[in-house]
A and B are shown apart, each in its own frame.
Chain A
Amino acid sequence: MKKKWIAVTLAWAMGVTILAGCTTKNPDQSGGNTAKDSGNSGEIVINYPTFQVGVNTAAPVVSQLVEEFNKEYKGKYRIQLEEVPGDANYVDKIKVQLGTGDLPPVVYGGGYNLLDLAVAKDLVLDLTDTVGGDPEWKGLYSDASLETNSRNGKIYASSAEGSIIGYFYNKELFEKAGITEPAKTWDEFFKQCDALKAAGITPLAMDTADSAWVTQLWLGAMAATANEDGLKFMETMNPDDYNTPEMIAAAEKVQTMLREYTTLDAIGGKYENAANNFLSGQAAMIANGPWMIGDFEDEAKAMPGFSDKVGSAIYPGGFVYDAPIQGYFVTKQDDPKLEEAAIAMVKFFTSAHAQQLGLETQGMIPASQTVEITEEAKRKYPLLADFLNQAEEAAIRSDNMQSTMYSNLLDVISQELPRLYSGDLDPKGFCQSLTDGAKKNQ
């Protein structure tokens, strides 16, 4: 009898132990996304997951904005940061929450096009009336910003940062090859590549893995400057036909660039490889945005004094990537007070002050044209100031391909560029692969 009771007790204990892990937690311990009243104060808490923490370049800006917001709205609203290190992890988290319909009150769209996914699920709050009723907020929207953050005539998001992208070159290596200034045309650009190669210098730092960020910047710049159709293609959101003469011609040039003018490790290499090749002085040019400027002065990444060797340029044909980065959006919540708090947060995070802070702390280009590029920012980031001056001269502008293409094409482009390099695919075949990949989204 005693043995029987011991056996029953043990079986019961095993069952309870297992099931203990499956019980519902106290909502306060769940790390959920909904607001919580903190005690009896009536303060609305906004749980805000973000990857802009830790070593992320935007972390200091976000941290200061949170501190200022919490101070300004003390007792009314409070942002509680939820750290999600790594932007890919953040995107995964948001996608999972999209699937369950339980999004955090504020989502940062960034360059990941999360807005369309959330709009398709009807989970985003329409900000049209709120922005329209606030002239100060409305004034921060440029036409481009309005287009980036609107769908079907409704404003759904608000941007804080712009994205002006050209390329950087190593002045010392250019001088060795007898090049005096960046190329104005693509023909001149390729002649410069030949001159660099003849001088024993690798002309370009490129990549193919992880969406081939650097390489697709060259590809898009060539397509955009080909003619009006090329520019129209670059301005199209989620294009589904890459079989255009402009794209095929650009792919042909990229094939040459990969074969003739870049490092061996570009094929299969990530952005980090390309950046390292440029920062170590092994390659003369790299396409990238101003956020890389900080790396030139970082002695953990580049040789001391490297920043003095770097020049910036817009692309041949007078082209520069110029588009606001998709901004913050408010998601539909059960509690209208939480929605109000989230709107206040988005407004604060995209205010002129926030954009100014991003510029001066991080060298982040403001989304709004009304936010002045201050002398302090120019002094702190001379290369940025120089680049912005050049960008003003650019006659052709568009968004970058990575922001406009279907997300599954990021993998396709990574997988097919090595085949374009090896000749397994010709430029036409490469464009056909992208077209086939785009069609999978229909």
Chain B
Amino acid sequence: MKINKMWIPVFLLPTVVLFLMIYAVPLVMVFATSLFDYRLNAKDMTFIGFGNYSRLFRDPDFFQALSNTVMWILIQCTVHVALGTVVALILYKRPKGWKFVRTAYMVPNIISNAAIAMIFLNIFNPQFGVINSVLKAARLEHLTRNWLMDSRTSFVSVTLIWVLFAGYTTTLVLAQALSIDDTIIEAAKVDGASPFQRDIFVVLPLLKKVIGTTMVMAATYMLQMFDLIYITTNGGPGKATTNLPLLLYSVYKGENNYGYANAIGVCIVVIGIGAMALINKALKVNQEEY
């Protein structure tokens, strides 16, 4: 059927208008106000050029938050996505009860982050939490600690809250795997490939794009991560679990410094775009393959 291309812009127009009003204009405003000394406790805004950005490079809290954010993106893009992919590959073999496992593995992803945070606050509770109780029962009392508030364990403890539950990755990868043409797998079988070889050399390469997509999703999820950290540690102890969104919030709410908070916001956007470009380029997510 011949499509009249003239109508494409007409139907795109509402979306474009919506995007401009809801995302583009605020983004421009965020960048514009980040060039001002814009505080709640000052009568007027003063233009300071890139003053807020130069403060970023002198602020140890920013570097700590940046380092935590990048670390979490890397962990999410590797460990989290790998776990989800492995589970998907196992389920792809359709073992007994695979549909139940697929649903069960998805459950943590449908619970709100606030509820998950509360659950883990209890799990990690130093007084009555499961972890310390199990350690005590196993006569490993010397290993008990305040998991979320000990500088040595807080980062790992917070990471464990989300890194193991890769339901979305599993669902997406599994859906893609199930759509692979059986003839390709049969051909590999005829060529004498073992099940492991078929997974690694046939199935996995065909999942490259969807894995890339899940990595982009994982990275952006980490750039937005706020509620889980806010409820469990509020970025502490010290700045051990502060990421960029949490730092932005504390600058906005605590220091009432909107200009500096917006400069951090611009950094988050830039890092997000950078991470997406990097992942897309590395995994050629947007390129057609023939």
Q: Is A14 an interface residue (CB 8 A)?
A: yes
The distance in angstroms between the C-alpha atoms of A11 and B14, with both chains bound, is 8
Interface residues of A in 233-282 (CB under 8 A from B): 263-265, 267-268
Interface residues of A in 398-431 (CB under 8 A from B): 406-412, 414-416, 418-419, 421-422, 424-425
Count of interface residues, chain B, beta-carbon cutoff 8 Å:
35
The distance in angstroms between the C-alpha atoms of A328 and B17, with both chains bound, is 43
Residue contact A418 to B149, C-beta cutoff 8 Å: yes
Interface residues of A in 180-219 (CB under 8 A from B): 208-209
Q: Is A7 an interface residue (CB 8 A)?
A: yes
Closest to B258 in A: A99
B131 to chain A minimum Cβ distance, whole angstroms, is 13
Residue contact B14 to A18, C-beta cutoff 8 Å: yes
Q: Is B243 an interface residue (CB 8 A)?
A: no
CB-CB under 8 A from A98, the residues of chain B are 40
Interface residues of B in 1-52 (CB under 8 A from A): 7, 10-11, 13-14, 17-18, 21, 40-43
Select B17's contact among A7, A19, A409, beta carbons within 8 Å.
A19
The distance in angstroms between the C-alpha atoms of A267 and B10, with both chains bound, is 59
Select B256's contact among A17, A407, A416, beta carbons within 8 Å.
A407
A276 to chain B minimum Cβ distance, whole angstroms, is 11
Residue contact B43 to A121, C-beta cutoff 8 Å: yes
The distance in angstroms between the C-alpha atoms of A422 and B147, with both chains bound, is 12
Residue contact B40 to A268, C-beta cutoff 8 Å: no
Closest to A415 in B: B236
At the interface, is chain A mostly helix, strand, loop or mixed? helix
Interface residues of B in 222-277 (CB under 8 A from A): 233-239, 250-251, 253-258
Q: Is A135 an interface residue (CB 8 A)?
A: no
Closest to A418 in B: B237
Q: Is A292 an interface residue (CB 8 A)?
A: no
Select A411's contact among B18, B146, B149, B254, beta carbons within 8 Å.
B254
Residue contact B255 to A7, C-beta cutoff 8 Å: no
Interface size range on A against B: 35 or more
Given A15-B14, A267-B149, CB of A116 within 8 Å of CB of B238: no
Q: Is A117 an interface residue (CB 8 A)?
A: yes
Q: Is A95 an interface residue (CB 8 A)?
A: yes
Residue contact B40 to A408, C-beta cutoff 8 Å: no
CB-CB under 8 A from A263, the residues of chain B are 127
Closest to A409 in B: B254
Residue contact B40 to A117, C-beta cutoff 8 Å: yes
Closest to B18 in A: A18
Given A11-B13, A415-B235, A416-B237, CB of A116 within 8 Å of CB of B255: no
A15 to chain B minimum Cβ distance, whole angstroms, is 5
Interface residues of A in 96-134 (CB under 8 A from B): 98-99, 116-117, 120-122
Given A415-B234, A418-B237, A419-B151, CB of A265 within 8 Å of CB of B258: no
Residue contact B239 to A415, C-beta cutoff 8 Å: yes
Residue contact B126 to A264, C-beta cutoff 8 Å: yes
Residue contact A408 to B14, C-beta cutoff 8 Å: no
Q: Is B148 an interface residue (CB 8 A)?
A: yes
Given A267-B146, A424-B151, CB of A419 within 8 Å of CB of B237: yes
List 17 contacting pairs A-B, 8 Å CB cutoff, sorted by A. A7-B10, A7-B11, A15-B17, A19-B17, A92-B253, A95-B256, A116-B41, A120-B40, A120-B41, A120-B43, A121-B42, A412-B254, A418-B237, A419-B236, A419-B237, A422-B149, A425-B238
| Leading 4 A-B pairs by shortest Cβ distance | A408-B254, A418-B237, A415-B236, A268-B149
